Amino acid sequence: MSSSGGPRRVFLETYGCQMNVADSELIGGVLRRHGWTRADDPADADVLLLNTCAIRENAEERVVGRLGELMRFKNARPGVQLGLLGCMASHHREALLDRAPWLDVIVGPDGYRDLPRLLEEAGDPRIEIRLDRGETYADLVPDHAPGPRAWITVMRGCDRFCTFCVVPDPRGRERSLPLEAVLAQVESVAESGRREVVFLGQTVNAWRADGLGFGDLLRRTARVEGIERIRFTSPHPSDFTEALIAAIAEEPKVMPYVHLPLQSASDPVLAAMRRDYTSDQYRAILGRLRAAVPGLAVSTDLIAGFPGETEADFQRSLDFLDEAAFDFAYLFKYSAREGTRAARFAETVDEAEKGRRLRALIDRQEEISLDKHRARISQEVRVLVEGPARRPVGCVFGKSEDFKTVILPGEGLAPGDVARVRIAAATSHTLLAAGVTSRRAPSLGAPEADEIRHLPA
């Protein structure tokens, strides 16, 4: 099981989306079973690993900066290894071999099974990127972070090739875990006392296996005892079938929140992005979801300054925020990514203008989110408690059924409890509860508040 005198302590830092966070939990499990332990401080570690993201230029810049810092620890002690994992490793595979010879391992998202061996072998930079093996890690058990929620990757890769997006390159072709493998993971996290599962995939609702679709997976998961809340991210708008919408509407354990990435509300821009829907088709899907699921919360992703986006195109996205009244939105400046089709399109929006458009979207969405949150004041919500809030002292935090962060008085509450509370105040990001009207027990280890990440990166 264990390595033969090789490095023993691993420092692992994660960047990017929730799937990368889940991959780090998988890596943690693989390494622990091979005898490694975790180090919280790079100064104490024998192996320094960064699990990286390539989605936008600034994501990569952060990692490059961090690598520079970690080199200090590698140079300070002989034998310390430095490794690059994840989407940047995979996306820049060839260039990295030339330009970063000081990297001891370069391992893409499909190579984690081999990580212990690669770290133990001596020699030149060791690289494992192969994306052609249909790897799903279906048989490997991740070390899930403590807390009442578990993230479970149910499909990997992406076949959609939106023109702006790098993901299909580093993560390879779409593949689903078999039904039984997913259910085994759900049962195992339920047995460990967790109450909530979040299914993950870049187009998670494209999951299909054993003749079943994603709606069937949700229904089968709802039968697992102990699991009370089921969520998923990120679905693609075009993969919302009637059967899936029915499952969300009919299964009480499937929570009333969906992330429905729009990207742009202008049809010419959507076509240039190859998003596979028009703004009207998106409207129709949103309408069907909202009609089927009362009280549904919806979030989205939008990109400002895609090549060719005119002021009128941009205005459509801005106006769509009012029309759709999303609960929140992840808003990005377009970032050209090497190897994507859009990287060959002439950039027509300069950085300053991208910044202005992004700011306008953020300001508008902040107002909408604040209005939506204020409308909840004096309503009752059910909160699954996650752990102590940083502020105010004595409070805990958790999520409502529709995925709002709620801060509530913590007395008598522990992680895993479900509390019914009345909302007393709101900001654009948080709901604050005045008193707990009822609660229900069993408890788990608490995650730190700053471990909690939003979906997706």
- C-beta closer to ligand SAH: residue 144 or 275: 275
CB-based burial, 82-95: b 16+ in 10 Å, e otherwise: bbbbbbbbbbbbee
Contacts of 69 (CB under 8 A, 6+ apart): none
Cβ-in-10-Å burial (0-12, 13-18, 19+) of 138 comes to middle
CB of 261 to ligand F3S, least distance (A): 12
Element (H, E) at 22: helix 18-33
CB of 166 to ligand SF4, least distance (A): 7
Determine if 160 is a binding residue for ligand SF4 (CB under 6 A).
yes
Show the site string, 42-81: x = touches ligand SAH by CB under 6 A, - = not: -------------xx-------------------------
Task: Give the β-pairing of 212-213 and 208-209.
Answer: antiparallel
Sort residue 45 into left (φ over 0), alpha (ψ -120 to 50) or beta. Answer: beta
Backbone angles phi, psi at 28, to 5 degrees: -55, -45
CB of 205 to ligand F3S, least distance (A): 16
Segment contacting ligand SAH by CB under 6 A, of 92-100, 177-185, 333-341, 371-379: 333-341
Determine if 270 is a binding residue for ligand SAH (CB under 6 A).
no
Q: What's the angle, vertex CA 421, arms to CA 441 and CA 449, rounded to 5?
A: 70
Cα end-to-end span (Å), the chain = 34
List 51, 202, 369, 405, residue binding ligand SF4 (CB under 6 A)? 202
Residue 19 binds what, of ligand F3S, ligand SF4, ligand SAH, none (CB under 5 to 8 Å, by partner type)? ligand F3S
List 85, 272, 303, 423, residue binding ligand SAH (CB under 6 A)? 303
Contacts of 423 (CB under 8 A, 6+ apart): 376, 377, 378, 379, 380, 381, 406, 431, 432, 433, 434
Q: Tell me the C-alpha distance between 111 and 106, whole Å.
A: 9
- C-beta closer to ligand SF4: residue 67 or 162: 162
- C-beta closer to ligand SF4: residue 172 or 387: 172
- C-beta closer to ligand F3S: residue 334 or 397: 334
Residue 337 binds what, of ligand SAH, ligand SF4, ligand F3S, none (CB under 5 to 8 Å, by partner type)? ligand SAH
Footprint on residues 12-51 left by ligand F3S (CB under 6 A): 16-17, 19-20
Determine if 86 is a binding residue for ligand SAH (CB under 6 A).
no
CB of 137 to ligand F3S, least distance (A): 15
Element (H, E) at 289: helix 279-292
DSSP characters over 338-393: TTSGGGGSPP-S-HHHHHHHHHHHHHHHHHHHHHHHHTTTT-EEEEEEEEE-SSST
| Residues lying near ligand SF4 in the complex (CB under 6 A) | 158, 160-162, 165, 167-168, 202-203, 236
| Residues lying near ligand F3S in the complex (CB under 6 A) | 16-17, 19-20, 53-55, 86-87, 166-167, 170-171, 457
| Residues lying near ligand SAH in the complex (CB under 6 A) | 55-56, 164-165, 202-203, 234, 236, 261, 263, 301, 303, 332, 334-335, 337, 456
